[in-house]
Structure 1
């Protein structure tokens, strides 16, 4: 459908409520099962998963389907042999550690949302998966439909591949990687042998290589799929085996039910690490899942033991009374530096959101009730730890356990991307930055005050030229009221003060004189006289305006700054948005995961709302301004270049 490039209008962010409704619509349409979690209250029902207080499982599925920073836009394109005008909407989002891509498509009057291959690569089992020969895949990428004889690997065929159902198609070379999305024109699930059959089985909508796949904010083309994806259960050997038996007699087809296509039932999907995966019978699930999801009570105990372990180590390795711990302890420091490093198990199941407390504040209050510490609520609702009872018997008699090494990402895609993004280290760490402001003179100052319009001048150079101008015109200092003042001449009155009709200029013109400092400030503050430029120097770089390095080119406009915005989402939920990092050589795709670790909460990277295409912003849960300022400081960004906008405070009347 998208052989021709669609015209996509301006992207706009989705409200949190719209994002949840959209995700719930997808969950309903694709029959995604929201599993029950082993909560303390075992009477919880599935109906509670769609209430105003969703379970962590539902939130995880929603985020996997529709990321928190999702944007939407209308589009138009021409499709079909008759080049019919088609319109609809696209939904753009970024999974953690990746750039933004089109994840869902809705077109025409059909309210159904169609996933792109990027969504399928992160949500195994979302749709039934069909297979065909790689030669046929190449034909499909030209916009052709999948014909019935082109199906391989069955019967049996996936039960969900019924008329009108959305299905994915993979080739035999990479049978676990969907590369084509379509809608069934016939009931594929009821087909027998397909040799000799006629007609189209699946109508093509989107594929790896079309214009939707190719779109990105950075205009750097689409991203090829991985070699394999864990969760699409069909193996290459099984598909090839089914393909090799296509010429057998009918009575051979039913000898082994395992020869058929992928029997994915999205109505029995489970969730693991934010991705939707097909469910399996209980015995197979135990064999396939070496790490079963712990109960809430087990996660609670792990967090308590980690806290005791941190205090045990502090008491063992440092002197009293505080044993090397700086009080007060911030909630973010508690989670990132005391809990996470000492957890018995370090995987996606052991996070503060999986505990019965759900957040650090309630966890601290629990520890205070256990008489392990003293806490205090600060303005803004933050709770800090003021002191710890190191003489508690639970700390004295604590038995250390072996701490596991941090596990790598289970997903091949995420692992590869983490390596490529991190590259082993953050190149911006430890860099030294110098922000230099330069000015170019307008024609009003040339040649009377400054010699050239093309040369960049520092403020001190402009001040020197002004001093020289005054020395060359003795009449300026004669009969002035003070040595600090100079008389006005036609050049100063007309070219400098006459460039602005402000009240201050009018008063100066009426007085007939102006202070030397006020005159230089007047020149530098007026962009019509001295056009500001900025230059960011890294490490040992220097720039001399008198003998400039042409490889360093100053940029016009005000100097860059890192913007930290605190705002409320969903009523009381506070988030921190960070933007403007690229100008300082800091990659948001690398800093985002680092902030997620430091803040012990979720973080996402996406297009900066209201910014230029390709400019990214990081969204972190909670008020994390102190952590952000510290982390960007480690990357050479001075506090003077950071602007904090706290929108959570009540506006003054």
Structure 2
């Protein structure tokens, strides 16, 4: 029901009388909840909203949102819990167990087929046709889906565990889940200690043939999968990628589950999910309407990277998209959240954002950092290190130190190797710098939360200059802000507030993804204060600030 985006009709705070009625309805629908648990779920004083939506097929659905998450949804006067509610009270609904790869299909809109149900030693839960039920994964009893029983449990056994088992309504990582805080399922130990019976040769969904015969060779694979897969596999799934899998990918998903992944390997699914999370959070908390159009490269460097959780590293090359342009195309075509356009040849910009998209209906966690003036994003200057690359001509000099052509070294390392070479070969002038001059200069630049980047040549400084435009009016021009991951539009806005003068952004001819900031008047002094004091860029990486002193001498 929520595999595709839905449309919000209204979102209002519930009145006291409505809350009391909802509490009574919840108590009737889920009698196992105690009075204290009901009060916690439907508080009398805390924020609690009722949201009217239309699902993608036109169904009218009512959501009840509390604690920043949708806790219940109502369809045709039937009340259902969401995964957020069941993660707190997992015993509210009877549950069927299945294998982790089946979740891939259910997120895409498939129902749970009986061959994919793992029958515990205690047997199936006692359930009637049409009753609400939950779906959990082997080794974790935290529900990942909610639906209704297609047939009663007795009929399931009579059918030989073939056919449709659960008509799925809502899953972890669908669009209803995305309406909340997008948290992951908790790890709840599975009470089933015995090895469960497996019915059917593989984890079936309604996209597979129901009448296939059991293959004994493949049946052994399930035992292997069961032992290796845990609930952590579920947390590593990427929301955009999973909703568009082809049927043939099921076996690939099962094989992936059999491989023990190391944390440092950053699987594509993990990176896709992180990319999706940073993308939504950047649009929600960083991008303003006044910034549009916004260079896609700037959006990545200054907005998405800053939204990456502490301890994690965003790397598009390790995702299934490989390139930012491809990822943004998916966001535009499949989710209609943004619109990307090539305003100048070879340079793409985000020109429009659907701020009403259900994907952006979530609360942004409060920042723990100190407040930043002028509404700017907290900026940390990069660490820049001068390096030297071993050239072909000098490779024999570094051969004893096992440094081949192309290896980059810091000046101190070069001096140490040269000194050792001089001592070993009884040469003179060990301290001269001819060696450095013959090497190719490089630099290493490290932005917070990103991998170090080594680039050839000298790093371009931020260039500040005064120019004259029509009617002999002075303007100040700033270039190369992007080299230091500074957002030109944010810098322009900050300067406008400081000097109360208009500014414009202009593409730099011949420089891909580069723009210059132009602001009225000679504003070098204010620009110096902004770059040195606020952004904390070292003075040696800024050229042109000395023009202020020269201007005063002429007066």
Asked whether the two chains share a fold, i.e. TM above 0.5, the reply is no
Q: With the length of structure 2 as denominator, give the TM-score of the two structures.
A: 0.36
Structure number with higher helix proportion:
2
Larger Rg: 1 or 2? 1
Q: With the length of structure 1 as denominator, give the TM-score of the two structures.
A: 0.31
